[in-house]
Amino acid sequence: MPIINRIKPVTHKGKKALIKKEPQLVENAKETLCLKSKNNSQLVIDFMKDLYDLKKPNAQMMQKKNDILPFENIVPVEKFASKYEASLFMMVSHNKKRPHNFMIGRMYEHTLLDMVEFGVENYKGLKDFKVEKITVGIKPLLVFNGELFENNYEFGRIKNLLIDMFQREVVEKIRLQGLEHVLSFTAVENKILLRSYRVLLKKSNTRIPRIELEEIGPRADLLCRRNKFASEDLFKQACKKPKELKIKKKKNISKDTLGTTFGRIHIGTQNIDRLQTRKMKGLKKTLSEKNAQKRKITDDNDSTTKLRKVTD
C-alpha cells in the first residue's frame, strides 16, 4: 500500500480548518447515541427504547453495558460520541441513591457541552397505548408549556437541549398533512411532564380541518436532578452562526408589533411658498390676496435696496 505524505498546513486558515470545524450553512440531522450503564432497571431501558423508536433513523442503540458514570468521568462517553459521529447521547442507570436514572447530553467538537440527569416516574410505554402509531422518521412538533421555561435559567437551558435532541432537520415549509406527531413538555415545579400525541385531522365546515390529539406514548414525569452546563462563552461559541446566514440590518426600515413594515425616506428642504396647492377655482387666491402678495414682494425688494445703499 503506498504511503501518503500529508502536507502540513502553513497558513493560519489551513491550521484552523484542521483544528476546528467551521459552522455549517445547513446542518444535518444530529445522531444520538443510546448507552446503558452497568446497573439498570427495566423501566428506564424500556423508556430509552421508546425514545429510540421515536428518533429512528437518527439514533444508534448500544447493546453492551458500560461501567460509566458520566458526572464523574465523561471521557468514555466522549470517545463513543467521537467514534460513532454522534453529537447527542442518552444514558440510563439505576441505583439506590438515584433510582430509574435517565441522562441526556450534547457534544461540541467531541467534548461535553451540556448534560442533564432526570428521574423517571409514572412511566407508561408505547406498547401500553393500543392505538395506531406514527410513521418512522417523522419530524415532531415540539410544544413547551410553563413559565419556568422562560423565567428559570436552568429550565431554559434544558429546553434548548430538548430542542436539539428531538428537532431533526430544519425545514422551510410545513405541510399540514405532515404534522403527525406532537411532543409536549410541561414544566411543573421541579419536574418536566413528557407526553406524546398523534395528530388527527377531522372534517369541519371550514377549509381548515378540526385537530384532535390522541396520546400514543411514551408518557413519563421527569424529575430534574443534577446538571452540568457549559459556560456562557463556550455556549455562545457553540451557537455561532456562519456569516452567510446572518441577516444584514436594513437601514430606515422597521416593523411594529403586528408585523407591519414601515420605511423612512429622507428628502431635502422644500420651499413651501412656491408649491402649487390650489387647483380648484374656489380655492384660488382672490384679487386682494394677489395685490397684498405683490406689495409684500415690492416692500421686501425696497428694504433690500436701502440696506445695500447704507452698506456702501
Convert the pLDDT of each residue in 47-92 to its tens digit: 999 999 999 888 999 989 989 999 999 999 999 988 988 999 999 9
pLDDT digit string, tens, across residues 275-309: 666 566 666 777 787 788 778 777 777 666 655 65
Confidence bin at 251 (pLDDT 50/70/90): confident
Q: What is the structure's pLDDT at 138?
A: 85
Q: Answer yes or no: are the C-beta atoms of 113 and 234 closer than 8 Å.
A: yes
> Does 270 have pLDDT greater than 80?
no
Q: Answer yes or no: are the C-beta atoms of 234 and 108 closer than 8 Å.
A: yes
Does any domain span residue 262? no
Q: What is the structure's pLDDT at 211?
A: 87
Does any domain span residue 311? no
> Does 3 have pLDDT greater than 50?
no
Virtual torsion, Cα 287, 290, 291, 293, nearest 10 deg: 160
Domain CATH for 116: 3.40.50.10480
Confidence bin at 98 (pLDDT 50/70/90): very high
> Does 240 have pLDDT greater than 90?
no
Q: Answer yes or no: are the C-beta atoms of 155 and 220 closer than 8 Å.
A: no
Does any domain span residue 66? yes
pLDDT digit string, tens, across residues 122-149: 999 999 998 888 888 888 999 999 999 9
Does any domain span residue 47? yes
> Does 106 have pLDDT greater than 50?
yes
Count of domains in the chain?
1
One-letter amino acid of 108 = Y
Q: What phi and psi, each to the nearest 5 degrees, are found at residue 229? A: -105, 150
CA distance 97 to 95: 6
pLDDT average, residue stretch 225-237 = 90
Q: What is the structure's pLDDT at 291?
A: 81
Does any domain span residue 12? no
Higher pLDDT, 303 or 227: 227
Does any domain span residue 104? yes
Q: What is the structure's pLDDT at 1?
A: 40
Q: Answer yes or no: are the C-beta atoms of 212 and 131 closer than 8 Å.
A: no
Q: What is the structure's pLDDT at 237?
A: 86
Q: What is the structure's pLDDT at 121?
A: 94
pLDDT digit string, tens, across residues 4-59: 445 666 676 665 555 555 556 566 778 999 999 999 999 999 999 999 999 988 89
Q: What is the structure's pLDDT at 276?
A: 64
Does any domain span residue 269? no
Question: What three-state secondary structure class fits 212?
Answer: strand
Sign of CA dihedral 163, 169, 172, 174: negative
pLDDT digit string, tens, across residues 163-189: 999 988 877 777 777 788 999 999 998
Q: What is the structure's pLDDT at 4?
A: 46
Q: What is the structure's pLDDT at 169?
A: 80
Does any domain span residue 180? yes
Mean pLDDT for all residues in the chain: 83
Structural domain containing residue 89: 27-232
